[in-house]
């Protein structure tokens, strides 16, 4: 009897084999998840049938029958829900794209200002960062929106911030150059110049690697990029006419007008995200040890070259990954537009859900779109990150 117990098992029981145990655990886990999913889907189907709500994406082809305050593409209430979604998507991408560019510029300037040797500049930048970083974005949006919508005067008494830039409770209007065929040609000339510069840059780098001779690529590139458009501009007779906003009746005519909602959203997103980017930039620059700069000086590099060749590439390595999360955050935060009435994707989907009752489809579409945008931004930034990341040899 005792021998039975002592006898070493020739083969361990299947239960003790980690591989088999792993498979069993996984089957159990997947079964639980699938059961939960099935439970939710089943309930939803039952509930929808009970409430007589249609399912499927057929509603997208029906008439939307609601107006949208501002849109970059043509839209009228007679268009379909699909078109309305597209308007929302374009509005979201517009504000997010502009916000990312402006927040990066603002954050970089403030981040460098925080490292300035000038006490006043340093302190001002610090006050800005610590104030706007610690106030919820939603409150900031309400603040800017209230400032523009409630506190700003009527167009008649509009504040003139700069010559011909007016702020009133109808939004912000500023002059834009009147359309002229010359601008199209200038853009073409710019593209040609840019391509030529890239070509010359490659050739110059190759030549420097082979012979050690340097080529004044900075000045030649500047000439190639700025020269042709300038030449076209002068040949076309320097069309400088501006489309200026003018008070006509109760509102401004001419110029480019931006609604208070858009202005508040963009301002809030840029000012809020700019603080985080400033801290990231500051951290990135501080992460490059002073010894690197000293070594560069010992090699005889000028201060510009030191920044461009030594400090910046190493700082970017630290800056890029957290910057990606800030860009993602800005894009996702743009959905707070629904709180101040800017017709972004979430706001339009919300209206659609209220009108059709098809919550499942509406929310699935919003989530799908944001997920796609997030993944695209991540993928692009990861590509860029791979280009600047430390290559260990």
Binding site for another protein (CB under 8 A): 22, 25-26, 29-30, 33, 40, 43-44, 46-48, 50, 116-121, 124, 328, 332-333, 335-336, 338, 346, 350, 353, 359-360, 363, 366-367, 370-371, 374-375
Distance CA 186, CA 194 (A): 12
Strand-pair category, 171-174 with 251-253: unpaired
Q: Give me the sign of the Cα torsion angle 323, 328, 333, 338.
A: positive
The HSE-up count of residue 192 (CA atoms within 13 Å, CB side) is 11
- Specify the residue, 47 or 208, whose C-beta has the smaller distance to another protein: 47
In whole angstroms, the minimum distance from the beta carbon of 375 to another protein comes to 7
Distance CA 378, CA 375 (A): 5
Two tokens, residue 256? 């480019």
Size of the chain in residues = 393
- Specify the residue, 221 or 362, whose C-beta has the smaller distance to another protein: 362
- Specify the residue, 118 or 208, whose C-beta has the smaller distance to another protein: 118
* Three-class DSSP category at 235: helix
In whole angstroms, the minimum distance from the beta carbon of 359 to another protein comes to 4
Which helix H or strand E contains 105, and what residues bound it? helix 81-113
The HSE-up count of residue 4 (CA atoms within 13 Å, CB side) is 1
In whole angstroms, the minimum distance from the beta carbon of 21 to another protein comes to 10
- Specify the residue, 77 or 136, whose C-beta has the smaller distance to another protein: 136
Q: What is the full DSSP assignment across 166-224?
A: EEETTEEEE-EEPP-HHHHHHHHHHHHHHHHHHHHHHHHHHHHHHH-----HHHHHHHH
In whole angstroms, the minimum distance from the beta carbon of 372 to another protein comes to 9
In whole angstroms, the minimum distance from the beta carbon of 324 to another protein comes to 12
- Specify the residue, 90 or 147, whose C-beta has the smaller distance to another protein: 147
Distance CA 69, CA 87 (A): 11
Distance CA 327, CA 388 (A): 18
- Specify the residue, 46 or 387, whose C-beta has the smaller distance to another protein: 46
In whole angstroms, the minimum distance from the beta carbon of 120 to another protein comes to 5
Rg for the chain, CA atoms, rounded = 29
- Specify the residue, 105 or 371, whose C-beta has the smaller distance to another protein: 371
In whole angstroms, the minimum distance from the beta carbon of 213 to another protein comes to 33
In whole angstroms, the minimum distance from the beta carbon of 113 to another protein comes to 9
Q: Do 280 and 323 touch, CB atoms closer than 8 A?
A: yes
Distance CA 150, CA 169 (A): 7
- Specify the residue, 120 or 391, whose C-beta has the smaller distance to another protein: 120
88 phi and psi angles, rounded to 5 deg: -60, -40
- Specify the residue, 316 or 338, whose C-beta has the smaller distance to another protein: 338
- Specify the residue, 32 or 242, whose C-beta has the smaller distance to another protein: 32
Q: Which residues pair with 253 in a beta bridge?
A: 246
Q: Do 361 and 62 touch, CB atoms closer than 8 A?
A: no
Distance CA 83, CA 354 (A): 17
Distances (CA, A) of 252 to 156, 161, 172, 241: 9, 15, 10, 18
In whole angstroms, the minimum distance from the beta carbon of 333 to another protein comes to 7
In whole angstroms, the minimum distance from the beta carbon of 277 to another protein comes to 19
């Amino acid at each position: 009897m005792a021998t039975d117990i002592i006898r070493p098992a020739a083969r361990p029981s299947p239960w003790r084999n980690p591989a088999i145990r792993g498979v069993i655990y996984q089957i159990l886990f997947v079964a639980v998840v699938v059961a939960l999913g099935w439970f939710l889907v089943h309930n939803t189907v039952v509930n929808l049938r009970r409430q007589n709500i249609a399912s499927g994406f057929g509603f997208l082809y029906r008439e939307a029958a609601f107006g949208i305050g501002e849109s970059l593409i043509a839209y009228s209430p007679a268009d379909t829900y699909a078109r309305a979604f597209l308007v929302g998507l374009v509005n979201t991408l517009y504000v997010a794209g502009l916000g990312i560019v402006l927040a990066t510029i603002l954050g970089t300037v403030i981040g460098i200002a925080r490292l300035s040797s000038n006490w006043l500049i340093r302190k001002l930048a610090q006050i800005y960062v610590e104030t706007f970083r610690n106030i919820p974005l939603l409150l900031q949006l309400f603040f800017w929106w209230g400032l523009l919508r409630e506190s700003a005067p009527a167009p008649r008494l509009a504040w003139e911030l700069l010559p011909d830039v007016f702020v009133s409770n109808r939004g912000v209007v500023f002059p834009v150059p009147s359309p002229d065929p010359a601008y199209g040609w200038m853009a073409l000339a710019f593209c040609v110049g840019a391509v030529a510069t890239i070509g010359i840059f490659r050739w110059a780098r190759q030549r420097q690697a082979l012979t050690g001779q340097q080529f004044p690529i900075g000045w030649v590139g500047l000439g190639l990029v700025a020269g042709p458009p300038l030449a076209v501009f002068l040949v076309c007779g320097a069309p400088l006419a501006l489309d200026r906003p003018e008070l006509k009746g109760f509102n401004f005519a001419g110029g480019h007008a931006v609604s208070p909602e858009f202005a508040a959203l963009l301002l809030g997103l840029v000012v809020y995200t700019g603080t985080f980017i400033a801290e990231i930039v500051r951290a990135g620059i501080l992460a490059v040890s002073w010894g690197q700069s000293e070594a560069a000086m010992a090699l005889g590099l000028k201060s510009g070259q030191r920044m461009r060749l030594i400090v910046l590439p190493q700082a970017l390595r630290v800056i890029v990954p957290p910057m990606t999360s800030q860009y993602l955050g800005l894009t996702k935060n743009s959905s707070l537009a629904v709180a101040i009435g800017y017709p972004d994707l979430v706001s339009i989907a919300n209206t659609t859900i209220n009108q059709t009752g098809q919550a499942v489809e509406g929310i699935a579409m919003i989530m799908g779109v944001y997920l796609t945008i997030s993944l695209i931004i991540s993928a692009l930034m990861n590509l860029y990150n791979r280009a600047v990341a430390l290559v260990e040899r």
